[in-house]
Amino acid sequence: MSDNRKYYYLKLKESYFDDDAIVLLESMQDGMLYSNILLKLYLKSLKYGGTLQLDENIPYTAQMIATITRQQVGTVERALQIFMKLGLVEPLDNGALYMSNIELFIGQSSTEGERKRRARMKISEQKRLSGQVSEAKADICPPEIEIKKEIDARWAKRYNLKEMSKTLIFLQENKIGSIEEMQERIDAATARYHELGDSIKATETRMAEIAVLRTHIVNYARTRPVYDAYRKAGYSKRFLDTHREEITLHKAAKTAFDEAGLKKLPKAKDLSIEYAELLKKKKESYPDYRKARDEMQELMKAQKNVEMFFAEEKSTTEKGQAR
């Protein structure tokens, strides 16, 4: 009596672990653990065509998944979030989770069907082996330039995957879940960076003004006796020639006070106190300024990496469709 029950199994291509999403996943912290959870979820979803369900009416929850995978709930929740970001899992309207691309992995057979399938595979393998020698001759030694291109391409791919892995961790740690949210964070970080920069520039401008004003006040006080004597001498040319430096400094200070609209000169001591306070404020602002700059640059770098990743995905998809 033949066994006609249906059996479901997972079909994995040889290149499964070379897929960009899987490489990214396994390069993360606890990535191998997440990869193991992913395979278990694929297996659990086979019976319902890729949907994670206990039966036709009850979808699996994170707690239930933690139980069947023998992992902590927090680990499962983090894994599911990463799977969604990588497009490996999609949430459905009914609350269930759907394993993306599952149709590529589902296989099913009966015992009798499996026997026939193995027989067909054996025949196909014999035919393949008979033509193996001729196939091998066609590609014994590729040109050196092709080898170099392949090495360069693999290196670039690994580098890009490493960078994308860092980017995904950065997005996860900063709770950025969409392109729009990332742009909002970049705009806010850029605004904060420029705000702090403008504040520091304003402080530096005022410090420069105080330094110049304080110099004029000191020069004005120091040269005043000479200028008073010059005025009493009837602005004598001989007196001017003798005391030209002091008189020039006095006039420059008076011109600066008039241009600043100062009716009463501030005390040099008060200016020194204000200068010291501004200097302290400037020094205290720099750590926040550098932090804002670094945050803005990290966000912009993450945005660039995400754009490059999707551009490469689009290019790969278009090439696949063209074939």
Residue 106's pLDDT is what?
63
- Taking only the tens of pLDDT, the chain with its 323 residues reads 445 555 566 777 777 787 777 887 887 778 889 889 998 998 888 877 778 888 777 888 888 898 888 888 888 988 898 888 877 888 887 778 888 777 666 655 545 455 555 555 655 666 566 555 444 444 444 444 444 444 444 544 555 667 777 778 888 888 888 888 889 999 999 999 999 999 999 998 898 888 889 889 989 999 999 999 999 999 999 999 999 999 999 999 899 888 888 888 888 889 889 999 999 999 999 899 999 999 998 888 888 878 877 776 566 566 566 55
φ/ψ of 91, rounded to 5, equals: -80, 135
pTM to 2 decimals?
A: 0.45
Cite the DSSP H helix spans in the chain.
20-27, 31-45, 62-69, 73-85, 111-130, 132-137, 144-173, 179-232, 237-242, 244-259, 268-322
Determine the Cα–Cα distance for residues 108 and 114; give it in Å rounded to an integer: 9
Degrees to nearest 5, angle at CA 94 with 89 and 99: 20
* Structural domain includes residue 112: no
Whether 213 and 312 map to the same domain: the answer is yes
Residue 144's pLDDT is what?
45
Handedness of CA 240, 244, 250, 256 (dihedral sign): positive
Beta-carbon contacts of 43 under 8 Å, excluding residues fewer than 6 positions away, are 10
* Structural domain includes residue 289: yes
SS3 at position 99? strand
Whether 200 and 310 map to the same domain: the answer is yes
The total of structural domains in the chain comes to 2
* Structural domain includes residue 168: no
* Structural domain includes residue 132: no
* Structural domain includes residue 109: no
Determine the Cα–Cα distance for residues 114 and 9; give it in Å rounded to an integer: 11
Query: Of 53, 69, 104, which residue constitutes the final position of a domain?
Result: 104
Residue 247 domain boundaries? 179-321
Whether 64 and 193 map to the same domain: the answer is no
* Structural domain includes residue 55: yes
